[in-house]
Amino acid sequence: MTDVNRLLFERAVRVIPGGVNSPVRAFGSVGGTPYFVERADGPYVWDADGKRYIDYVQSYGPGILGHAHPAVLESITRAASNGTSYGAPTEAEVVLAEMVVDRIVGLESVRFVSSGTEATMSAIRLARGATGRSGIVKFAGCYHGHGDALLAAGGSGVANQGLTGCDGVTAGAVADTIVGPYNVLPDLDDTVAAVIVEPVAANMGLIAPAPGFLEGLRLACDAVGALLVFDEVITGFRLARGGAAERFGVTPDLWCFGKVIGGGLPVGAFGGRWDVMEHLAPLGGVYQGGTLSGNPLAMAAGRTTLELLDDGAFDRLAATTARLAAGLAGAFTAAGLDAVLPRVGSLLGIYFGEVAPSNFDEAKALAENGLYPMVFHALLERGVALAPGAYEAMFPSLAHSDAVVDETAEVAGAAAKAVVANL
């Protein structure tokens, strides 16, 4: 890594734990020193030394339009000119809530929070309050934020750090959390309040739901009176106008959203049917609140982003991602590097091996074979940025043109040849 980035990291570690404000940014699982972003535009970021990278992180999903989209920037600027936070309701909250409800079939009410973690924590509390039950079922390798009850067997940054749990999370905090393998239907009983799932597992690389898995979860929950919670923080408003629920034709009881709906600003949301949501205070006894919830800048950015995501946008995103997958696959094959690139719409995974995984154990075997860090650094050196962890998905945006995608494939070919030469 170049001089300014190193100097910034040396300063950061003196005042920020590990030098970063989210563990995956530390390059802990790939080695080396992280680059510090100076600015971004469209499909690119520039580091503190002025080096440009084709960026497939895109803030881990919010950058669906590409970085610094002019319309989003204009809406944020316009909103900021009237103030940045009020501690009182605004019309902007109502408008974005109406847009979300309009797009999601079966979702009747939504409440905004400030992060995906807040959304999942609140949804779980709501599910417990609405059902009077305590049990929560989740799946190994699915990451639902850093709330205590959901950190058991988590993916994403938890997996990247090599953690099987988390210090500070007590046995009591996860006593009611049941963990099962993804793509295997769990046995439920009348102690289970909710089953929470990533409808497409995007925190252990990328694993699609097996045929019948989501449908089976719906039936299993109905059979025992449990609530089905879709964590669509990543898939929401990315896979389709109505997210994964629309794409797979399965309607949960509760949804969790984030990333895209904030247009790059901190935001989350959870919502569902009125008969469930009415348990929230001030209507019911389940308390949830947040000083900055419904922040006017985030509401403005989210509204503009959703307005720009028409049906044609999802088709274009899927086509871009398909082109990228084909280009990378061809580059790796030509270099003699075994790779599989599972794709669901505009989400793309990358594993270095012969067979795509179907669960966390299989994903872990591929993620930890030592090849991802080598490819990551070979690409980064040549100006293509992936997430610094093998358990993360790639996030192409509407700003990634065919020319940018083809350049990526060309760079990947050179990077793969360099990796193979060093094996």
Q: Which residues are catalytic?
A: 143, 231, 259
> What stretches of 292-344 adopt beta strand conformation (E)?
343-344
Q: Under a CB-based contact definition with an 8 Å cutoff, are residues 276 and 132 in contact?
A: no
Phi, psi of 370 (to 5 degrees): 90, -5
Does residue 280 contact residue 286 with C-beta atoms inside 8 Å?
yes
Count of Cβ atoms closer than 10 Å to residue 359 Cβ: 19
Q: What is the residue whose two structure tokens read 């881990």?
A: 60
166 Rama class: left (phi>0) / alpha (psi -120 to 50) / beta: beta
113 with 257: CB under 8 angstroms? no
Q: Is 272 helix (H, G, I), strand (E, B) or coil?
A: strand
Q: Write the burial class of residue 61 (CB in 10 Å: 0-12 exposed, 13-18 middle, 19+ buried).
A: buried
The tokens for 243 are 């997210």
Q: d(Cα 420, Cα 333) in Å, to the nearest integer?
A: 11
- List beta partners, residue 227: 194
CA 416 to chain centre: 27
Instruction: Specify which residues 197 forms β-bridges with.
Output: 230
Q: Please check whether residue 352 is in contact with residue 366, taking contact to mean a CB–CB distance below 8 angstroms.
A: yes
Identify the burial level of 223 via C-beta atoms within 10 angstroms of its C-beta, where 0-12 means exposed, 13-18 middle and 19 or more buried. exposed
Sheet with 44-47, side-by-side order of all strands: 37-41, 44-47, 52-55, 384-385
